[in-house]
Structure 1
Amino acid sequence: MDEVLDRIPLLAGLPRTVEELPGGLTNRNYKVSVPGAAYVVRVPASEGGLLGIDRDAEHANSIAAERAGVGAPVHAYLRELGVLVVGYLPGRTFTEADLRDSANLPRVAEACQRLHTGPRFSRDFDMFEIQKGYLKIVQSRNFRLPAKYRDFEPQVGQIREALKVQDEGTVPCNNDLLPGNFIDDGERLWLIDYEYSGNNDACFELGNIWSESDLSLEQLEELVTAYYGRRLRNRIARARLLGLMSKYGWTLWAAIQDGANESIDFDFWSWGMEKYERAMAEFTGPALPVLLDEATRPD
């Protein structure tokens, strides 16, 4: 680690303390403190290309998020190593309990709005295309595929067609807002980690938040209503359908990590199967036809 830090001009030659931060399923994150300042150094810990991670895009989009006033300041980037250095944001990292607290949902919506109205990102993110790409990787490398995974392709096609009707274009999205990617400084929320960032449907961001923290349907409605300023049935349905697609797509992310990542001690398969089981319940449940209809209607 010292060899990496010595290649970063603002850290080289200074007395420093290094603390590994918890979390991170594709990186190792270190808090590096030097006299008068603290930084987070993100070092890749997996083959990002398999997962669709573009380190150059992550760097560019992190700068855009900083300009939007919602991301940490970007201080350095070692392109040849994929190492990103951002400012350390003092504050409390969110937990699932924080996101399940309805009092925080308007704050979450406001942070997303700040990002979404900021500078465009350098690439796009479409979970339908990401999922197809992940599936090709899983099959070509003979990684484990969950049972009956491809049986739901007809429903995926129906969802994709329904979402075209009320499509409002894309905005810069983080696309990976797990609880640990929210930092609360006591006044406002910051959004970190732009590995999967790209211009996307705003409702994917909201639906993915719902999915990742397993919020209730009532909380999803609260979040979408706070974001748009009024209750819009088609946007609520859209966020729920895209949240379903996030579960279905990230299941294969986990299958790839399970087959390819040996550097992080984590049960990726169980993590992915939990998402897949929830996705199956929605694909086969009675609500899907209703959601498909509501997503196509003007509110």
Structure 2
Amino acid sequence: MLMQIKTIGGAACDAEREVEAVLARIEPWSGRALRYAPVLGGISNTNWRVWVDGEAQSYFVKVPGRGTEQFIDRKAAFAASRLAEQIGIGPRLYDYAFEQGVEINDFVEGRATCSNRDFLERNVRASVMHAYRTLHGAPPLPLTKTIFDLIDEHVAQVHEVGGTLPADFALIHARYREARAALEASGLDIVPCFNDPMPGNFLRDDAGTILLIDYEYASNNDRCYDIGALSGEMFFTADVETELVETYFGRVSNDVMARVTVHKALADIKWATWSMLQNEISTLDFDYAKYGAWKFMRARSVIEAPRWQDWLRSL
């Protein structure tokens, strides 16, 4: 698909009119010729590449999607993006439109957006573990939201908007409560976490080194959530999951493997319920119902496994 680059005043749809209104209020760009084009792939917001007359680099501009304020704290997301820039795992951040809730970064050149295929490469996986360790070792973020907070929030929100949950959700929720009780009894290891391992949030270079983008779901959370969520999102085998744990921790143990596995299931429950909320409130052209059904199905593959109780006891 060819990129459709437009100039200010050429908007032909609501999303384009919205981004033009945003750009018109950015003081450092006032009076300068601007061009913009959509960046496809986002499922929460509308994303744009913007060129500013007289500047060599271009910019990535993220305009909040309708209703996202229900589950995204924009100030916290901005703080996480700033932290990522400072510790060298995220692109440069600008505060030009902070008051509008709009995030602006350098548009990263020389790197490609990842797909699941990229994670077949061991060096890419190792680079992600390095980035995660760097983030997890950074100072705490201003927002603490564990996976329990996230799931509880989304379940309540789905009920509030009259959304649909699967017929067996009572059983799924019971397994979630079992996992929560077991994890809380074992103790949580709370650190700054990325929380959003969609393939498009990883930018790679030819050597396989990784830059992380999109920190709007970042919060202080259990470090094993990041590893488990990544494993589930990329459909990693048990052998690759073990490799991740060894790369990150330098060792493999039953308790850590169980912790990662349980968080993998919880990640799918979180994103499944998030999808059911988005299905009711979002205006983006995305099949949230199918996405949520798929996430629930993957969660069931773990919580209904014969080893579920063994994993909980191993925590």
- TM superposition score normalised by structure 1: 0.93
Q: Is the 8 A contact 1:69 1:115 kept in 2?
A: no
State the match for 1:237 in structure 2.
258
What amino acid does structure 2 have at the position aligned with 1:171?
A: V
Q: How does 1:96-135 map to 2 (within 5 A)?
A: 96-135=116-155
State the match for 2:235 in structure 1.
214
C-alpha displacement of 1:108:
1.2
> What is the distance in 2 between the residues matched to 1:66 and 1:79?
16
Q: Is the 8 A contact 2:126 2:247 kept in 1?
A: yes
State the match for 1:273 in structure 2.
293
Partner of 1:214, secondary structure, is coil
> What is the distance in 2 between the residues matched to 1:11 and 1:207?
42
Unaligned runs of 5+ in 2: 1-18
Work out the percentage of aligned pairs sharing the same amino acid. Answer: 29
> What is the distance in 1 between the residues matched to 2:269 and 2:96?
32
State the match for 1:36 in structure 2.
56
Q: Is the 8 A contact 1:8 1:76 kept in 2?
A: no
Q: In structure 1, which of residues 239, 248, 253 is the aligned counterpart of residue 269 of structure 2?
A: 248
C-alpha displacement of 1:80:
4.0
State the match for 1:20 in structure 2.
38
Q: Is the 8 A contact 1:225 1:231 kept in 2?
A: yes
Q: In structure 2, which of residues 53, 75, 79 is the aligned counterpart of residue 56 of structure 1?
A: 75
State the match for 1:65 in structure 2.
84
- Worse-matched range after superposition: 140-149 or 242-251: 140-149
Q: In structure 2, which of residues 213, 232, 245 is the aligned counterpart of residue 192 of structure 1?
A: 213
What amino acid does structure 2 have at the position aligned with 1:107?
A: S
State the match for 1:8 in structure 2.
26
Q: Is the 8 A contact 1:29 1:40 kept in 2?
A: yes
What amino acid does structure 2 have at the position aligned with 1:49?
A: E
- Worse-matched range after superposition: 143-152 or 270-279: 143-152
Q: Is the 8 A contact 1:100 1:219 kept in 2?
A: no
Q: Is the 8 A contact 1:258 1:268 kept in 2?
A: yes
Q: In structure 2, which of residues 304, 307, 310 is the aligned counterpart of residue 284 of structure 1?
A: 304
C-alpha displacement of 1:101:
2.9
Partner of 1:86, secondary structure, is strand
C-alpha displacement of 1:168:
5.2
C-alpha displacement of 1:45:
1.7
| Cα deviation digits, residues 9-42 of structure 1 (max 9, x gap) | 3333333331211111111111112321211110
C-alpha displacement of 1:98:
1.0
> What is the distance in 2 between the residues matched to 1:101 and 1:294?
30
What amino acid does structure 1 have at the position aligned with 2:83?
A: A
Indicate the RMSD between aligned Cα atoms, in angstroms: 1.6
- Worse-matched range after superposition: 19-28 or 178-187: 178-187
> What is the distance in 2 between the residues matched to 1:67 and 1:119?
11
- Establish whether residue 164 from structure 1 lines up as the match of residue 184 from structure 2: yes
Q: Is the 8 A contact 1:42 1:84 kept in 2?
A: yes
Q: How many residues align?
A: 293
C-alpha displacement of 1:141:
2.0
Partner of 1:10, secondary structure, is helix
Partner of 2:29, secondary structure, is coil
Q: Is the 8 A contact 2:124 2:210 kept in 1?
A: no
> What is the distance in 1 between the residues matched to 2:281 and 2:200?
24
- Worse-matched range after superposition: 79-88 or 266-275: 79-88
What amino acid does structure 1 have at the position aligned with 2:278?
A: Q
> What is the distance in 2 between the residues matched to 1:134 and 1:47?
13
> What is the distance in 1 between the residues matched to 2:211 and 2:171?
39
Q: Structure 1 residues 288, 21: CA separation in 2 closer, same or farther (over 3 Å shift)?
A: same
C-alpha displacement of 1:165:
4.3
| Cα deviation digits, residues 215-263 of structure 1 (max 9, x gap) | 22221111121111121321121011011001012111000011111x2
Q: Is the 8 A contact 2:89 2:211 kept in 1?
A: yes
